[in-house]
Amino acid sequence: MKRRDFIQLAGMSAGAAMLPMGAFGQPVDLAFLLTPRLDTTQKKQLADVALNTAKSLGATYTDVRIGRYLNQFVTTRERKVQGIVNTESFGAGVRVIANGTWGFAASNDVTADGIKKITERAVAIAKANSKFQKEPVKLVPVAAYGEVSWKTPIKKNGFEVAVKDKVDLLLNANARAMEKGATFVNSLIFLVNEQKYFASSDGSYIDQDIHRTWPNFSVSMVDRASGQFKNRSAFSAPVGMGYEYLDGKTEDKIQGPGGIILYNKSYDIVEDAAMAAEQAKQMIAAKSVEPGKYDLVLEPSHLWLTIHESVGHPTELDRVLGYEANFAGTSFLTKDKWESKKFQFGSKIVNFDADKTEVGSLGAVGYDDEGVKCKRWHLIKDGVLVDYQAIRDQAHIIGLKESHGCCYSQSWSDVQFQRMPNVSLQPGKDQVTPEQMISGVEKGIYIVKDGSFSIDQQRYNFQFGGVLFFEIKNGKIEGMLKDVAYQANTQEFWNSCVQICDERDYRLNGAFNDGKGQPSQSNAVSHGSATARFNGVNVINTGRTL
């Protein structure tokens, strides 16, 4: 866990005493305690109030989103519970086009009168803004789906699992880490449930129930004699799954190179915490890397972040067009590179797909927040840039006849805009295991788990660290390294990709909190890959000072 993530989550835990809680051993239905549940018939009636009101006021397009957003945080440190927090947010947002211009308004007054008022406000905002609009908003068509629904295919709803069971699991993980000599250990379980209803003047009424789960920890080991310390975070990936992800099934464990145990479709937090303490000791005693050129073998739990920053963000069309320039930056993947149809983003084995449908991923939904049915599409094919990520009011700019279905809002109170879908490196076509890949490397480094990073505003020049680093000599892992970071530019790096393991090694990782926009919004997104090899990459020593 990154420091900023822990601070954010721990800060939320501090307000636990202010929220309604049930008996310690029981789950708490906050939706029942704080606001009434609405069935789909009631939601449709409220949505129609917005649609009819907007039409009567001259809007040419309207969509309304009614949402209940539930979060639960269970956080512990060593032998103590730090916080148990349940949060709920419930309200509605209405977006319109009037006089060719967007308008948006939202409220937590989810009644017919409340919906009518925010619709009138949204239309008034659109008409006022139209005085400054240079050209009208253009939307590509979308199908009218009628009344449909979609749910994350979970087996166990985490919100229905007793809080005591979650606390016991985390404290057990902490205890195992301390038994192995850990100096400090923090752990958490973060659950999300988005209950979203969407309706539009295009004729869709869409009800969705979305679940996400994130177990995590950070183990710290301090060598008091030398004053050195190391942190090893969890090997868990945040997932679009239910509490079944924490079942830790034996068949879902992967024995990786260097004796590490990795996880795929389920996760054993207790086993991982014990292994983390052992590895933190090894990290302190590890040899400091010698700077130079190395062949890198990058494991999926590390490579996801490099994909996110150097592929996911620069292929966002709003960045390409300059819409994000003031805050998040722009992109080196300018339109002329896409129009040429021959810009060599990476080597010929490099293929990236965007996907909002992959089961178990953080970004998996049936329909986006514009009512577009989600799909999968190519961004990079055989190393060449072939497409971007585009939504309804952007698609026509690059000649598309339909949206990619990647519009999202973090809540009912925020306007939806283009957000990153799952962006994944496709597995290699030849059957290759990580061990076989390593056997062909003479001088290299095998890197596991993401660490600190830096990348410029165009997503071009970058530096990435990691958590575990293993030295490769003459096809064998020789031991652990530390103080490793690699530097490159995006095009150079992905053109140095010479080998990708096959689909047997493909795994998802990702982030709960990808930030973008002003005001900033958070988006959950996964990135899949198999282990991949990159030749001749510049490695620096981060522990040395001039």
pLDDT digits (tens, 9 = 90+) for 32-61: 445 678 999 999 999 999 999 999 999 999
- Asked if 208 and 194 count as a contact pair (C-beta separation under 8 A), the reply is yes
Query: Per-residue pLDDT for 31 more than 70?
Result: no
Per-residue three-class SS string for 239-282: EECCHHHHHCCHHHEEECHHHCEEECCCCCHHHHHHHHHHHHHH
Percent of the chain topping pLDDT 70: 93
Q: What is the mean predicted confidence (pLDDT) over 329-351?
A: 97
Residue 25 amino acid letter = G
Q: Are 75 and 9 in contact (CB under 8 A)?
A: yes
What's the average model confidence in pLDDT over 436-446?
Answer: 98
**Distance in angstroms (rounded) separating the CA atoms of residues 191 and 426:** 29
The two three-digit tokens of residue 102, written as one number: 């967007």
Amino acid at 263: Y
Q: Is 77 left (phi over 0), alpha (psi -120 to 50) or beta?
A: beta
Read off the tokens for 149.
Answer: 């629904």
Q: Which residue has the tokens 């982030």?
A: 511
pLDDT at 34: 57
pLDDT of 314 > 80? The answer is yes
The CA-based angle 82-467-10, given to 5 degrees, is: 15
Consecutive H or E run containing 447: strand 443-455
Whether the per-residue pLDDT at 259 is higher than 70: the answer is yes
pTM over 0.85: yes
Residues 124, 126, 129: CA angle, nearest 5 degrees: 110
Average of per-residue pLDDT across 487-502: 98
The pLDDT value recorded for residue 258 is: 87
**Bridge-partner residues for 83, per DSSP?**
75
Q: What is the pLDDT of residue 3?
A: 43
Question: What mean pLDDT is predicted for residues 65-89?
Answer: 97
| Over residues 362-387, mean pLDDT | 98
Across the chain, what does the average pLDDT equal?
Answer: 93
Confidence category of residue 328, pLDDT binned at 50, 70, 90 = confident
Sign of CA dihedral 475, 478, 480, 485: negative
Q: What is the mean pLDDT of residues 175-182?
A: 96
What letter represents residue 354's amino acid?
A: A
Taking residues 528-539, report their average pLDDT: 98
115-133 mean pLDDT: 97
How far the first Cα of the chain sits from its last, in Å, is: 29
Alpha carbon distance 331, 313 (integer Å): 8
| Nearest to 461, CA basis, from 336, 342, 332, 321 | 332
pLDDT digits (tens, 9 = 90+) for 81-105: 999 999 999 999 999 999 999 999 9
Q: What angle do CA 429, 337, 503 make, to 5 degrees?
A: 15
Confidence band of 389 (pLDDT split at 50, 70, 90): very high
**DSSP label at residue 17:** G
pLDDT score recorded for residue 35: 66
Q: How many residues does the chain have?
A: 546
Least confident of 3-17, 200-214, 479-493: 3-17
Query: pLDDT value at position 388?
Result: 98
Tell me, what DSSP letter sits at residue 313? T
| Domains of the chain, CATH where assigned | 3-285 (3.30.2290.10), 288-541 (no CATH)
Collapsing DSSP to helix, strand or coil, 6 comes out as helix
What is the tens place of the pLDDT at every residue in 391-424?
999 999 999 999 999 999 999 999 999 999 999 9
Facing residues of 376 across strands? 355
Which pLDDT score is estimated for 7?
41
Q: SS3 string of 137-155?
A: CCCCCCCCCEEEEEECCCC
Q: Is residue 14 pLDDT above 80, yes or no?
A: no
